[in-house]
Amino acid sequence: MAPTIKDIAKLANVSHTTVSRALNNSPLIKEVTRKKIAEIAAQVGYVPNYNAKSLVMQRSYTIGLFFTSIANGTTSGFFSDTIRGVNSVIDVEYNLFIRGIDDYTEYSSIHRKRFDGIILMSQSEADNKFIYHVVQQGIPIVVLNRQIDDRSIINIISNDREGAYNAGKHLIEAGHQDIAIIEGVEGFKSTQERRDGFIKALIDHNIPVRNDYMRSGNYDMQSGYEAMGKLLDLEKPPTAVFCSNDDMAIGAMKSVFERGLQVPNDVSIVGFDDSGFSLFANPSLTTVKRPIEKISEQGARRLLSLIKEPIENDVLISIDTEFIARESVRKLSK
């Protein structure tokens, strides 16, 4: 069986209390005995039993990383970038627990004893119920990706509205007037932010907002494909389309090509996210880069320090997006 502190105590001829203290670098222990104990521990390959530790310390050594949903509306790139970001910060002494909120019908298993802290990559306002529960349980939480009103919660977001605004502006400045938007999952905050930014760009440049140029999608390629199909069926199809994420943009392109049309010659397309393949699409996709991995890293870091010392200091960090011009937009020479 795996050695415990008692085994070490016997070998070192001290009490297990001393061993515990020595291993935790308590000042109550003489340097020489501390060293001896550390040596023995290493020799027998001692590893602390985290369950016992957790039980008495009332800590779990577990960080929960939650998504609104793992199965729906979460693209692979988004998902894995998030995990990569968090993973790179959290060290191996922590368990990283990953789940979708929609895996739960009720939240009773989410409580303080089980999670030292929670990172929520939030996409929907429906998550508020979850957030409320977590806060009520007194679990430190950091909410990423979606702005929430409660200013006592650490909140890290990307400035999607501005990003979408820039995308719209870019199209307008390229001479486009008939610009459509393909939107994301209904109910997702990001969907709304991007729509708002886009529309503001239109309004600021005195371009009428046409209802039939606003198409709903759900962030996956197929939905982009279908939405673009409908746009192209219009009597007067748009000359440019802003897609609320890259996946839908890829789907939209597909639809354009299938009708024998060209991107950007016949239709210009802008995406959002700068996911891995946007550079390698043909033509490469003009898009808005959203720093998911950065946001996740930041979030994890903040959470860790929040766990260490629970100071509430009203944090809302907004990380700017970056417009990336590539080949999918045509400049209209009017």
- CA triple 12-15-19, angle to 5 deg: 65
Looking up tokens 């008692």 gives: 6
Residues 29-48 that bind a second copy (CB under 8 A): 45, 47
**Spatial contact of 295 and 144, defined as CB atoms under 8 Å apart:** yes
**Spatial contact of 221 and 227, defined as CB atoms under 8 Å apart:** no
Binding site for DNA (CB under 7 A): 1-2, 4-6, 13-18, 20-21, 23-24, 28-30, 33, 46-49, 52-53, 55-58
Here the tokens at position 7 are 């085994």
Residues 125-164 that bind a second copy (CB under 8 A): none
Is 106 exposed, middle or buried (CB count within 10 Å of its CB: 0-12, 13-18, 19+)?
exposed
Q: Which one of a second copy, DNA, none is in contact with 206 (Cβ closer than 5 to 8 A by kind)? A: none
Q: Which is nearer to a second copy, 159 or 328 (CB)?
A: 328
Q: Which one of a second copy, DNA, none is in contact with 254 (Cβ closer than 5 to 8 A by kind)? A: a second copy
Q: Which one of a second copy, DNA, none is in contact with 18 (Cβ closer than 5 to 8 A by kind)? A: DNA
- CA triple 82-192-129, angle to 5 deg: 65
Q: Does 49 bind a second copy (CB under 8 A)?
A: yes
Here the tokens at position 273 are 């996210």
Least separation in angstroms between residue 247's CB and DNA is: 44
Residues 190-219 that bind a second copy (CB under 8 A): none
**Closest to 319 in 3D by CA, of 123, 191, 198, 162:** 162
Q: How many residues in the chain?
A: 334
Which positions touch a second copy (CB under 8 A)?
2, 45, 47, 49-52, 54-55, 60, 62, 70-71, 74, 76-77, 79-81, 83-84, 87-88, 92-93, 95-100, 103-104, 108-109, 111-114, 221, 225, 247, 250-251, 253-254, 257, 276-277, 279-282, 284
